[in-house]
Amino acid sequence: MRVAVDVTPLVGVRTGIGQAVGAVLDALRAQPTGPDAPRPAAAVPVVIPYALSRRARGHAGALPEGTRFPAWPARMLLRAWERSDGPTVDRWLDGAEVVHATNYLAPPSRHPVVVSVWDCTFVRSPELVSPAVRRIEPMLRRAMRRGAWVHTGSHFVASEILEYFGADLAGPDRVAVVAPGIPELHHGGAVEPEVQALLEKPFILALGTIEPRKNLDGLVRAFGLLAPQHPELHLVLAGPDGPGRRAVDLARAALPQRSAARIVFTGAVSDAVRTTLLESASVLAYPSVYEGFGFPILEAMRSGVPVVASLAGSIPEVAGDAAALVEPLDPDALAAALARVLTDDDHREELIARGRLRSAEFSWGETARGLTELYAKAIG
C-alpha cells in the first residue's frame, strides 16, 4: 500500500499538528512486517511524503528524504482548488494509491483521499481565525463532494463534522475517528536562566499559542483570585504570542501589581524547555472554550502533573475522569479547582494516579494501525 502523506506541517515551528504528523510518519514506518505481523507486508503503508509549498525546499532538513514538491506555487494551487477540481496532484504523486492530507487541505486526485480535520474552529467560529484559515472551508467542502474520507481525533469533532459538512459527505461512514498518541518528551537541552529560576517556585503552567479560544485571559483572572492566598505561586504562559495577547494583557493589567508580577510569558519554547516546564509544574491549566483534542492534557498526565481543564469541546472525552473539569468562563470555579489541587494532597495524588492510567491508553502504534485500516477502506 503506497500512501502519499502531506508533511508540510513539519516545516517551521511545530504546532500540535506538526508533532502529530511527525509521530504518525514514524509509527507508520515502524509497523511490523514479519511472519508474525498482524497484517501482510503488502498491507503496511509505504509512505510517499509530499509538501504543498515549493518554498518548503528551503527547509529540507525538517522534511523526510524523498519529499515531493508541486510544480506550481502554493498560492496558485489554493486559488484554483477553491473554485475547481484541478489541477490534480497525480503527476507529482505518481505511484500513490491513496493520499493523506494531514492538515485540512485535500488536493484533487483520481486516487482516494483521506483528509485530517483536527477541529472545526474555522467553520463554527470563523471570527477567531485568519482569512487564510477561513479559505479552508470551500476547499474542504469540494474535497468531500469528490468523495474524500475524513479522519479526526475525537468523537466530539466527528459529530461536528457531520453537523457542519454532512450534506457534502458521501455518507456518515466517511468520517473515521483515530485518536493520536502523545508527543514525546525531549530531555537534555539547554534551559535559560530565567526559566531555571522559575523552577524554584510553585507554578501553574499553561501551554499553547495565546489565542482567544485558549481562554488565557480567564486563567489570568482566576490566578488573580488565587494569588493573595499563595504568595509564592506563579502563572507561566508558555507559547508564542497570538491574537489573544491583548485580552490577556488587559486581564493582567487589572490585577494588583504584586499578583501581575508573578505572571510570566515565556514566548515560544524549545522542546527541552517545554519538557522541563511540564515535569516541574504544580498543575497544568487548560481552560479552553473549544478544543479539538488537547495534547498538553495527556503530556501533563504522563509526566505526573495534575490537570485542571474545561468542560468544553473534546476535552472531557480526552481527559476522561483523570482531570478536574470546570466551566471555562467561570473564573471562580477555575480558581477553586486550582486551589484544591494545590492544597489537597489526597485529591492531587488521585488526579496524578488517574492521569498516568489515562495517558497510557494513547499510543502512536494504535494511531498507525487505525490509519492503516482507514487507508485500506478508502482504497476499497
Element spanning 29, H or E: helix 16-30
Element spanning 270, H or E: none
- C-alpha 209/C-alpha 221 separation (Å) is 18
Name 177's Cβ contacts closer than 8 Å, sequence gap at least 6. 152, 153, 154, 155, 158
Q: How far is CA 337 from the centre of its chain?
A: 24
Q: How buried is 21 (Cβ within 10 angstroms: 0-12 exposed, 13-18 middle, 19+ buried)?
A: buried
CATH superfamily of domain region 193-359: Glycogen Phosphorylase B; (3.40.50.2000)
- C-alpha 189/C-alpha 203 separation (Å) is 21
The CATH number of the domain covering residues in 2-181+363-379: 3.40.50.2000
Instruction: Quote the pLDDT of residue 35.
Output: 62
Question: What stretch(es) of the chain map to CATH 3.40.50.2000?
Answer: 2-181+363-379, 193-359
Reduce the DSSP state of residue 230 to 3 states and report it: coil
- C-alpha 233/C-alpha 213 separation (Å) is 25
Residue 327 to residues 320, 322, 324, 331, 339, Cα–Cα distance (Å): 15, 16, 10, 9, 15
Instruction: Quote the pLDDT of residue 342.
Output: 97
Average confidence (pLDDT) per 10 residues, the chain, 380 residues: 95 84 93 66 84 76 89 88 91 94 95 97 88 91 96 98 97 97 79 76 95 96 97 95 95 98 92 91 97 96 98 97 97 98 98 98 96 96
Instruction: Quote the pLDDT of residue 110.
Output: 94
183 DSSP 8-state letter: P
Instruction: Quote the pLDDT of residue 33.
Output: 66
Instruction: Quote the pLDDT of residue 42.
Output: 60
Instruction: Quote the pLDDT of residue 129.
Output: 82
- Which residues, listed in sequence order, are joined to residue 285 by a DSSP beta bridge? 308
- State the virtual CA torsion across 228, 234, 238, 242 in degrees, nearest 10: 30
